[in-house]
Amino acid sequence: MAIPPAILIADADVLVNYHESEIGVLQLIKRHIGNVVVLEPVFHETGDITPGQCEELGVDIVATETAWLMQAAETSTHVSFNGYLCLLACMDKNWTCVTNDGPLRRLCMRRGVATQYGIGPVEDMVAAGVLGPRRAIAIAQRMQGLHPFHANERAIARFSAELAMRAPK
């Protein structure tokens, strides 16, 4: 499987989850999986995270291109404006869209854009041998505990069960 040149964090809650639960994971993602980017409008939804913190964590804040803004403004969809901007950025730059938003995931899939759930990059690091399954499960459970509406319990249980099978006995 080819590693994408970058992953785009399309949901402010995904960035917040990583920031609050296991901040160092973002640096590991950048080092071992690919560049981590967030569009400016999505970054502004995060609240307490500063541009300096993003820089320290290796997360690049990307300016939104005018063409994306114009196209998103002219499009009617069930996806939020910022979500649609993320779709356009991923299509234009061949990025992977990291999102827990169902309508955005479905639209990305229809348009041929690679997608991952918010916990997906952690799973990639387990597959690459960067993180052990137990640590990955602990990160997922911490994310779910901090923000149960962002990381649903069923998805975390499925993730945990899958990774537990990889853990050494």
In a domain, 101, yes or no: yes
Please give the single-letter amino acid code of residue 127. Answer: A
Q: Is 104 exposed, middle or buried (0-12, 13-18, 19+ CB in 10 A)?
A: buried
In 3D space, the residue among 153, 36, 159, 46 whose CA is nearest the CA of residue 98 turns out to be 36
Domain count, the chain: 2
C-alpha gyration radius of the chain? 15
Which range marks the domain in which residue 91 is found? 6-116
Same domain, 126 and 149: yes
Same domain, 21 and 33: yes
Give one word for 56, left, alpha or beta, with left for phi > 0 and alpha for psi -120 to 50. Answer: alpha
Please give the single-letter amino acid code of residue 79. Answer: V
Same domain, 41 and 91: yes
One digit per residue, the tens of pLDDT, for the chain of length 169 reads 444 467 888 788 888 888 888 778 888 888 888 889 999 999 998 888 899 999 888 899 999 989 998 888 887 778 999 999 999 999 999 999 999 888 999 999 999 999 998 888 998 889 888 998 888 888 888 888 777 766 677 777 788 787 777 655 5
Q: pLDDT value at position 142?
A: 85
DSSP secondary structure letter of residue 3: P
In a domain, 169, yes or no: no
Q: pLDDT value at position 48?
A: 82
Same domain, 112 and 124: no
Same domain, 145 and 158: yes
Beta-carbon contacts of residue 169 (< 8 Å; ≥ 6 apart): none
**CATH number assigned to the domain comprising residue 29:** 3.40.50.1010
Same domain, 97 and 22: yes
In a domain, 142, yes or no: yes
